[in-house]
Amino acid sequence: MWEYTLWNFLPKNLFEQFRRIANFYFLIIFLVQVTVDTPTSPVTSGLPLFFVITVTAIKQGYEDWLRHRADNEVNKSTVNIIENAKRVKKECEKIKVGDVVEVQADETFPCDLILLSSCTSDGTCYVTTASLDGESNCKTHYAVRDTIALCTAESIDTLRAAIECEQPQPDLYKFVGRINIYSNSLEAVARSLGPENLLLKGATLKSTRKIYGVAVYTGMETKMALNYQGKSQKRSAVEKSINTFLIVYLFILLTKAAVCTTLKYVWQSYPYNDEPWYNQKTQKERETLKVLKMFTDFLSFMVLFNFIIPVSMYVTVEMQKFLGSFFISWDKDFYDEEIKEGALVNTSDLNEELGQVDYVFTDKTGTLTENSMEFIECCIDGHKYNGVTEEVDGLSRTDGPLTHFDKADKNKEELFLRALCLCHTVEIKTNDAVDGATESTELTYVSSSPDEIALVKGAKKYGFTFLGTRNDCMRVENQRKEIEEYELLHTLNFDPVRRRMSVIVKDQKGDIYLFCKGADSAIFPRIQIPEPESTKLRNAIDSTKQHVERSAMNGYRTLGVAFKNIAPDDYERINRQLIEAKMALQDREEKMEEVLDDIETNMNLIGATAVEDKLQDQAAETIEALHAAGLKVWVLTGDKMETAKSTCYACRLFQTSTELLELTTKTIKECERKDRLHELLIEYRKKLLREFPKSTKRNCKKRAWTDQEYGLIIDGATLSLILNSSQECGSSNYKSIFLQICMKCTAVLCCRMAPLQKAQIVRMVKNLKGSPITLSIGDGANDVSMILESHVGIGIKGKEGRQAARNSDYSVPKFKHLKKLLLAHGHLYYVRIAHLVQYFFYKNLCFILPQFLYQFFCGFSQQPLYDAAYLTMYNICFTSLPILAYSLLEQHINIDTLTSDPRLYMNISGNAMLQLGPFLYWTFLAAFEGTVFFFGTYFLFQTSSLEDNGTVYGNWTFGTIVFTVLVFTVTLKLALDTRFWTWINHFVIWGSLAFYVFFSFFWGGIIWPFLKQQRMYFVFAQMLSSVSTWLAIVFLIFISLFPEILLIVLKTVRRRSARNLNLELPMLLSYKHIDSGYS
């Protein structure tokens, strides 16, 4: 999506750039120099401004041109359109709604299409949506059964139909419509259309030779176009500090101009100063109003001192961020061999924010865990099973809770395995149809959910093999190698609200079954309550519940499995209700929800499954390192509490010594929930206040070394109670008490979270007093909301798609990469850019202060101290490259040290390098050095002649000596600050000094025809011919840098003495019993 056209680029881009305060300020200064008689040429501010505007415009124009080119490649590409039973080539941008499009294998869909038919007999096709949501797995789409046979250009041309659908909307996974097909009969045949019939623009056709589809949304109405949105502008803490510093320096500038204007008129209050005999006023000057003259003088002083505001800093900061982001992309430690990808930077504006994080919010599944599911065990009718079966006719049973039963009934076992083989949306990825059961061992299962594949593979391990779906018939090979066929009547897809999915199938005998699987909280309440005398059935249900709880405590993901028989009469009613709901164009989702809620009731529990999601490599070590760095880690997950708690212990978020505080539906009774919640909140707050009476932001991070650690567990239902309580006056303080508890806990686990609740938690912490910096990391679409809400969003390139990675500021392959990203890259980026900002203000104050002091010795006549060429090139050429190289390459601490000792991260937390203390240090240092430059040179000029031949130096020589000392001092100051020297640092530092000397000789060695006054002619060369000048320059540079040299010596001595004393920081309690590599 491009932003500019050829005609609006210049005005629109200029408008966008001059919205920046610094650019607008320099534009005003430039206009003042043009319109008012000022002491300096308009070139001195116009050229740097032109440079900044041009560089930014070229960058933005180039990026937009790339977008134009990419759009044209798509829009001008040709596709086949069926017109009058013939294939016609047409450009993508000319496709109209209603056109029938033919798409070949491995081609992308040019617009949003309704699938009419494909080369397969059942009208299905496989699609990958990697360019939309990053999911590389194949998804199956279906044609309505009335158009399946229309698989040639001639037959498709005979179709007469009308499609009704909803207005274009951006949700990729929702679509509501219906197709009315007209045949020779008077009655039109109506079929419902849903997301399974819609082929999205940008998706790619796979494993299918060709399809025919009709265009429903084109151009800017496609879902892909509607999903385009610019990244929300996130501002880093450094940017806010820059704006604060700008205001301070603007105040200094205004103060200097006001002081000089006032003193000028005090000076001119004496007649011999106001109009000396050698400089008589003109008649026009005498008639000018004094107020107007004072105002123009004030503006002239503003222009003279305007270089205290560093406009070129913005360009340097942008270049530093843009170029610096490549170091993350190039880092080989972030490269993952499994997916053959490394880290990706989606925005470079937040590099330094990685070094300022206070809170980390992480998803569990796919982030802390692998999201690589393996079927571990199951429970059938209250009996626990695991391991590979040794008998053909049954499962092996281990340590079941019902010891008086040998194992479950054979029919129950087979029913359970059939349920696993039938209740899913798994497809078989093959180029050709599967022709026999003998090929079943070579089958490749594909699904959007790794859980489903694990369950189907688990059933296969126990002798029941899913062979695929053909002509709406699901084929299963049982333990006796017999092929069973089930007609698939309806698939009731999974959704996060129901948290379950079902299928309705008919077997070869004509019996109709509903099979349902889902979260235990969604299945158990819908189980048919057994009669009081059915002791065996009650025991089976209780045993299954116990199995689910134990499996969850072991860290396994659990699902309940149920079924029910449906009588033919009931099915007729259910079928009618489903068709009516699916055909509805208005409120289809609500109507479907009502129907499904009615269908999925009074089911019979068969059993439960346990699937293991392994912990990611080095997840525990990473969380330990984050804790050691003073960061608070919160886990936000949709999983059940037991599973999430077990994972938190495994990844060392909770330690065995951590005391857990629970705010869940288990600890809050159903009756009088709010009263019990209030009691618990008060109780927990009192306990924590006793433990930590007072804790500031700084010692809050360090207390865990000596005090008891606390962890908090809360679920979604309780969180809703807390967040919604503010509407009731009696419970208005729930939220504040909850936040007080959270802030004093080392770690927090939020389970059973909806995506919106994840974002609410992040927003709640963001708004805490002190505005802590938040970071969210996740891998799935349900994590996008919290990723967008936090200050820094990081996406994992995981198995749940790439939506999180696409919407993030940074994306990495694994959770373990967060450690180096924050502790090394974040630390260094912050130190570099903080030094860059302080250095820019420092060198510009050094630059302008002598100019201000000079006014006291020239009658406040606005006489410039420096030549216009020096004014123009100081920030652009003489001092720009050294600081840019420093801000890209500096490593004040080795990267390995930063990652191995996470506590170093605390040294820069809280924007430490851009606080008032460091700012005042740099400001006073600049004031000291600027004073030394000026008065050192002034005392040198107390001798009227600096040469043996009696030649007297003038004011331009005076200014050039000051400027020379200035350039060498600020450059050597940066050299003293550099700890990590490369050939690039040497080249730009010594090269900049050499360039200054060369330029000064060159500028003063030629009579320039375009200059009215040749005031710098031979000044520099003559200046350096004096030994006194040489000695003065060297001496003044040494005096200026002496405080800095003294400070470095003292720091070095202190560091060595500390090393000799073998001082060590206290370790976190979590390190006491864990060999983590940090102790």
HEC profile for 889-935? HCCCCCHHHHHHCHHHHHHHCCCHHHCHHHHHHHHHHHHHHHHHHHH
Question: Would you give the distance in Å from CA 614 to the centre of its chain?
Answer: 25
Per-residue pLDDT band at 364 (split at 50, 70, 90): confident
- How many Å apart are CA 370 and CA 363, to the nearest integer? 12
**What average pLDDT does this structure show over 207-236?**
77
Residue 127 contacts residue 172 (beta carbons within 8 Å): no
Average pLDDT, the chain: 80
Closest listed residue to residue 364, CA positions, set 898, 749, 788, 789? 749
Contact yes or no for 805/812 (Cβ under 8 A): no
Query: ∠508-515-124 over CA atoms, to 5°?
Result: 70
**Exposure string over 842-851, b if 16+ CB within 10 A, otherwise e:** bbbbbbbbbb
Which among 812, 820, 368 has a CA at the least distance from the CA of 633?
A: 368
Cβ neighbors of 846 (< 8 A, separation 6 or more) are 926, 929, 930, 933, 966, 969, 970
Average pLDDT score over residue span 245-261: 88
d(CA 543, CA 516): 19
Q: Which residue has the higher pLDDT, 138 or 382?
A: 382
Give Cβ neighbours of residue 49 (< 8 Å, ≥ 6 apart). Answer: 23, 26, 27, 30, 311
**pLDDT band with cut points at 50, 70 and 90 for residue 1012:** low
- The Cβ of residue 670 has, within 10 Å, a number of other Cβ atoms equal to 7
Helices H / strands E in the chain, number of each: 36, 32
Helix-helix angle 880-889:312-330, to 10 degrees: 30
Closest CA to 815 of 795, 787, 830, 801: 795
CA–CA dist 792, 822 (Å, integer): 11
pLDDT, tens digit, 9 for 90 and up, residues 519-560: 888 888 888 877 765 777 888 888 888 888 888 777 688 889
Catalytic residue among 331, 363, 715, 867: 363
> Beta strands 359-362 and 774-778: pairing type?
parallel
**Nearest Cα to Cα of residue 766 among 358, 363, 367:** 358
- Which of the four pLDDT bands, split at 50, 70 and 90, describes residue 215? very high
pLDDT in the model for residue 398: 40
DSSP code string of 178-241: EEEE--SSSSPEEEEE-GGGEEPTT-EEES-SEEEEEEEE-GGGSHHHHT--PPP----HHHHH
**What are residue 789's phi and psi, to 5 degrees?**
-75, -35
Q: State pLDDT tens for residues 934-960.
A: 998 888 877 655 665 556 677 788 888
**Is 99 an annotated catalytic residue?**
no
Please tell me the predicted confidence (pLDDT) of residue 975: 93
Residue 433 — very low, low, confident or very high, per pLDDT cuts 50/70/90?
A: very low
- Tell me the pLDDT tens digit for each residue of 627-671: 889 889 999 887 777 778 878 887 888 887 788 888 877 677 554
pLDDT at 230 over 60: no
Percent of the chain surpassing pLDDT 90: 16
Burial of 451 (0-12, 13-18, 19+ CB in 10 A): buried
Q: pLDDT tens digits for 690-746? A: 766 655 444 444 444 445 788 888 888 788 888 776 445 444 577 888 888 888 888
pLDDT of 221 > 80? The answer is yes
Output the pLDDT for position 585. Answer: 72
Please tell me the least confidently modeled range out of 696-705, 916-925, 1004-1013.
696-705
Asked whether residue 482 carries a pLDDT value surpassing 70, the answer given is yes
Of the candidate ranges 123-137, 980-994, 995-1009, 1062-1076, the one whose mean pLDDT is the lowest: 1062-1076
pLDDT class of 122 with cuts at 50, 70, 90: confident
pLDDT at 279: 67
How much is the pLDDT for 807?
Answer: 75
392: pLDDT strictly greater than 50 = no
Find, among 233, 201, 232, the residue nearest to 20 by Cα: 233
Q: List, in order, residues 6 or more apart from 1056 with CB less than 8 Å away.
A: none
pLDDT on residue 806: 73
Any idea which of 109-113, 439-443, 512-516 has the lowest mean pLDDT?
A: 439-443
According to the model, what pLDDT value does residue 136 have?
56
Alpha carbons 297 and 299: distance in angstroms, whole number: 5
| Percent above pLDDT 70 for the chain | 84
Confidence of residue 198 (pLDDT cuts 50, 70, 90): very high
152 in helix, strand or coil?
coil
Which helix (H) or strand (E) is 69 found in, with range?
helix 43-75
What pLDDT was estimated at residue 299?
Answer: 84
Q: Is the pLDDT at 123 greater than 50, yes or no?
A: yes
The residue type of 463 is: G
Measured CA to CA, the distance from residue 698 to residue 711 in angstroms comes to: 20
pLDDT at 116: 92
Across the range 854-868, mean pLDDT stands at 84
Contact call for residues 311 and 48 (beta carbons, < 8 A): yes
Query: If you average pLDDT over residues 1062-1075, what whole number do you get?
Result: 34
- On the question of pLDDT at 104 being above 70, the answer is yes
Output DSSP code: residue 642.
H
Segments in 767-826 forming alpha helices (H): 784-789, 803-806, 817-820
pLDDT over threshold 50, residue 878: yes
* Pairing of the two strands 210-217 and 100-104: antiparallel
- Helix axes of 827-854 and 880-889: crossing angle, nearest 10 degrees: 160
pLDDT in tens, 290-346: 788 888 888 888 888 877 887 778 778 888 888 888 899 898 888 888 778 888 887
Give the pLDDT confidence score for residue 948 in this predicted structure.
59
User: With 60 as the cut, is the pLDDT of residue 387 above it?
Assistant: no
Residue 442 pLDDT: 63
pLDDT confidence of 929, banded at 50, 70, 90?
A: very high
Angle at 804 between CA 553 and CA 196, to 5 degrees: 90
Average pLDDT over residues 347-355: 84
- pLDDT band of residue 836 (cuts 50, 70, 90) is very high
